[in-house]
Chain A
Amino acid sequence: MIEQDLLQRVLAAAVRTGADFAEVYAEDKRSTSVGLDDGRVEQVTSGRDRGAGIRVIKGDTTGFAHTADLSEAGLRAAAEVAAAAASQGDGVSRTIALTRSPERIVSPVTQYPDEVRKADKVALLLRMNDTARAAGGSIVQVSAGYGDSRKHVLIANTDGVWATDEQVRTLIRITAVADGDSGMQTGAQSAGHTMGFEMFNQLDVDELARDAARQALTKLKARPAPSGALPVVIKQGSGGVLFHEACGHGLEADAIVKGASVYQGKRGELVASPLVTLVDDGTMTGEWGAIAFDDEGHASQYNVLIENGVLTDYMWDYLRARNEGRVPSGNGRRQSYQHIPMVRMTNTYVLNGHEDPDDIVRATDYGVYVAKLGGGSVNPASGDFVFGMTEAYLIENGEITEPLRESNLMGNGPQVLNDIDLLGNDFAMGNPGTCGKDGQGVPVGDGQPTLRVKSLTIGGTAA
């Protein structure tokens, strides 16, 4: 994308006014998306995004500028803007020597999406539409989407880091609407991987469609969710967002260094039930949050955050790690070349426990069984978080009984981590997610075995 000589000249120009550090992040991304709604393929969209972001750091100040012009003139202009933003003054002339990082492949791809006919992508959605509608006459509407991207990334900095990567992602999703006497209900399913079109060799799209339709139809009979605090059993692979919100964001070093997290100063302390071992793992092949290098050019890692309930470490990007005199953990990520990197999660999950998942339900007299969670959000300072249950049932006398209407669950992160009292042996990853922070979205994965939280506030309307 950009030659070594040019990178070195641009980086040297960026630190000429005396900055400590400069970095070029360049990307060239091609994407395709298809939207189906109301029985029609509404639109195929082709996109091209190409440009570079230049970051310059002096002391505690970061300057950042980006450009869609990858010529020497364009890159130098952006470097000057970023340098001026970070520092004013006379610097010294520095020579930059880049060392190319060895190629690293975390998620091998066999069928690149841009080498697949658009007609084949469209056909998947038409098929899912037919399958979902065939699930029952009460299915009155279906929307579905397909998206793929192939992104070439180049990162080089004045520490000599020079990494290139190719990131391929493929995603499919469907939403079904059912209409009945009690109004309309929705069901949704999705799948996404850091894979090419070969994802569909292993994925049964009819099953996704049937499952979305089944959820919507089931919820036509749903009664209002309870109101108040109850035990909650969360099905395997549906509740990783709980950990993403309950503690993941609070373990990001940018929140820690500003004292904006309830987990500040808690390394080495018991912060969760001893059943809990929590990992953030950018190396998990094929998963939605998998990366070979983070967006600062550091190799992705398997990082243990909580081990048997004890807080072992936070997640780090370059800047926060540098200030602490430690190495980054491969968690510096950004949405695109137009964005500054921050500390972000990759694939965040809880390792297996020992319980049979059926026994966890049987051990619960009265509570809520959550089969599918929607999104969530957290206030990292107080630890208060919510997440939506999009498919849930009542548990009565150790049995899963009636379906419940949608509502939010609410809890406090540190409290909930301590309240996990049963952990299953059936680990599974969940649906692909997009984590939003400071206006930037990045792809993340999560996962967990079936587990029980002693008490969460169910935000329903039933007494």
Chain B
Amino acid sequence: MSTDELLALADRVVVQAKPGEQVEAFVSRDIETEVRVYEGEVEHFVSAQSEGIGIRIIRDGCTGFAYAGTLDPSAIADVLAEARDNVEFGTRDEWAGLAEPDGVDVVAQELWNETLASFPTDRKIEFAKELERMTLAVDSRIRVDESSYADGAVESAVATNTGIRRSGRENGCYVSVGTLATEGDEIQSGFGFSVGRSPEEFDIAKAAREASDRATRLLGATQPASRRVTVVLDPYVTAMFLAVISSTLNGEAVAKGRSLFKDRLGDQVANPLVTLVDDPTNPLAYTATDLDGEGLAARRNSLIDAGVLQAFVHNSYSARRAGARSTGNAVRGGFKGTPGVGCLALQLQPGTRDQATLIADIDDGVLVQSVQGLHSGVNSISGDFSVGASGFLINNGTVGAPIREFTIASTLQRMLLDVAEIGNDVDWLPMSAAGVTIAIRDVTLSGA
């Protein structure tokens, strides 16, 4: 089924709107391949196809929703009937409503790659095997517990009787490898990956080297003593940190009083070094896109400028509540849900120095290679921040011994103000934020 056919299907639902109803149909179809290799043989090969429809109806400020994991016509009729029935149980909300065309032009993006779409299966398998071989060749202490190739393609369409009518398709692929480094009784693990719109963009050698280094570098790691230090976050860790920060900039959380920055627009909330934009129109961003989850044009939004809070991100609902316009930040996790609000492609404005130069100025610090427990020890409402970590000591400007089994803690509010430097090493990771090295002073390290 082509994107045109998906859109036609959505149209056929929308025209069934009754007087007084707003109706939205979101239809998608995706195809995924995953190959996992172990010891030179294919461990599993998954070929997955799924499709489905979600229908949202709003009447008199009340919302109902239903979905089905099929595009069978009789199932679609059931979904529409269920969504309509569910409206009866919603509470009236004066701001409820679907998106409407806002005149913002779509910035075209190249999200579809024909080479990938017709890439032969045996070469996909070969990528996973090659990555395993190259990783094993880096270091004799390394074993590989899984090496994978995966790709996915999704086509979707959204239509409403408020004038939204959009469709698109996108594909991408990655290879990843998990490693175990062994010395005596000790095992440390690592990972490496490479992503692309097409397999031709893979850097297999780099993925192999990183996967090996991440594991072997930690061999012999000890637990550091508790103290306050400057922490340097590796680009990968920074990207995860930014994803946490983004939930405080969510217009829906602000409207519901759940953001710690709710009353702070125009305030200095971060160090003046911090300039943060959400820009899904930047083609370098892995999560670059042309449309948001409601079918509005994705756009560049400045969120923090020289430390001053400039704006929150919105979908149509949170914007209406805030008396603002949607910033094109509706986020939809597929056909099984209605759009929420979220940042699409965050980026910190980079500094001028690379990681090594930045570290050279630090007397006592910690370089954090990975963190654990962002979902369990970080509360974006209170701002409490505490995560498990592993990495390296920084002594007199040089990176030293590996350390593990420690936590780093502060609050999100303080960490933004305590940013000491941002590196120039922007890394476009497969996440909703770009990575870049940052140094944050006065963070509590808990260890032995």
Q: Which residues of A approach B to under 8 Å, CB–CB? A: 34, 37-51, 59-68, 81-82, 85-86, 118-119, 122, 140-141, 177, 179, 183-186, 219, 225, 227-229, 258-260, 262, 338, 340, 374-377, 379, 381-382, 384-388, 405-408, 410-412, 457-461
Contacts and interface: CB of A to CB of B under 8 A. Distances in A.
Given A67-B49, A260-B189, 17 more contacts: A34-B89, A43-B90, A45-B67, A48-B67, A65-B46, A68-B69, A184-B382, A229-B447, A259-B145, A386-B376, A406-B379, A406-B386, A407-B384, A408-B377, A410-B388, A410-B406, A412-B405
B410 to A, nearest CB: 6
Contact of B383 (A86, A183, A259): A183
Contact of A340 (B44, B50, B187, B337): B44
B251 to A, nearest CB: 13
B409 A461 contact: yes
B376 A387 contact: yes
B426 interface: no
A228 B446 contact: yes
Given A227-B226, A457-B406, A377 B145 contact: no
B314 interface: no
Given A47-B336, A259-B180, A411-B405, A460 B377 contact: no
A41 B47 CA distance: 39
A408 B373 contact: yes
A217 B144 CA distance: 48
A377 B45 CA distance: 27
Interface string B193-234: 000000000000000000000000010000100100000000
B338 A43 contact: yes
Nearest to B411: A461
Interface string B376-392: 11010111101110100
Nearest to A458: B446
Nearest to A387: B376
Interface centre among A375, A382, A459, by most B CB within 10 Å? A459
Residue of A51, A184, A412 most packed against chain B (CB within 10 A)? A184
A81 B382 contact: no
A45 B66 contact: yes
A48 B78 contact: yes
Interface string B335-365: 0111000000000000000000000000000
A68 B51 contact: yes
A81 B90 contact: no
B308 interface: no
Give the residue among B38, B337, B407 with the most A Cβ atoms within 10 A.
B407
Contacts of B65: 43-46
Nearest to B388: A386
B373 A406 contact: no
B91 interface: yes
Contacts of B89: 34, 41, 44, 118-119, 122
8 contacts: A42-B93, A46-B65, A48-B79, A64-B48, A184-B258, A227-B444, A259-B145, A407-B384
B424 interface: no
B97 interface: no
A338 B50 contact: yes
A50 B75 CA distance: 11
A320 to B, nearest CB: 12
Interface in B30-56: 38, 41-51
Say what secondary structure dominates the interface of chain B: strand
B66 A47 contact: yes
Contacts of B43: 60-62
Given A48-B67, A459-B386, A62 B377 contact: no
A382 B86 contact: no
Size range of the chain B interface in the assembly: 35 or more
A259 B189 CA distance: 11
Contacts of B70: 48, 50-51, 68
Interface in B163-210: 180, 182, 186-189
Nearest to B410: A461
B260 interface: yes
Q: Is the interface of A mostly helix, strand, loop or mixed?
A: strand
A119 B387 CA distance: 41
B388 A408 contact: yes
A62 B143 contact: no
B382 A183 contact: yes
A262 B184 CA distance: 12
Contact of B189 (A37, A141, A381): A381
Contacts of B226: 227-228
Contacts of A38: 255-256
Contacts of B376: 374-377, 386-388, 408
Contacts of A60: 38, 41, 43
A311 B270 CA distance: 50
Given A118-B86, A387-B376, A410-B407, A228 B69 contact: no
B90 A42 contact: yes
Nearest to B372: A386
A456 to B, nearest CB: 10
Nearest to B442: A461
A407 B382 contact: no
A426 B276 CA distance: 50
Given A42-B63, A82-B47, A141-B256, A258 B379 contact: no
A273 to B, nearest CB: 19
A168 to B, nearest CB: 19
A177 B387 CA distance: 22
Contact of B386 (A34, A260, A460): A460
Interface in B79-93: 79, 82-83, 85-86, 88-93
B59 interface: no
A363 B43 CA distance: 51
Contact of A459 (B186, B218, B336, B409): B409
A459 B71 CA distance: 49
B79 A408 contact: no
Given A42-B63, A177-B257, A61 B407 contact: no
B50 A68 contact: yes
B448 interface: yes
B280 interface: no
B143 A259 contact: yes
Contacts of A64: 44-48
B47 A65 contact: yes
Contacts of A141: 256-258
Contacts of A405: 382, 384
Contacts of B387: 386, 408, 459
A410 B405 contact: yes
B446 A48 contact: no
A447 B230 CA distance: 39
B18 interface: no
Contact of B377 (A44, A140, A258, A459): A459
A177 B146 CA distance: 42
A382 B260 CA distance: 36
B316 to A, nearest CB: 14
A450 B92 CA distance: 45
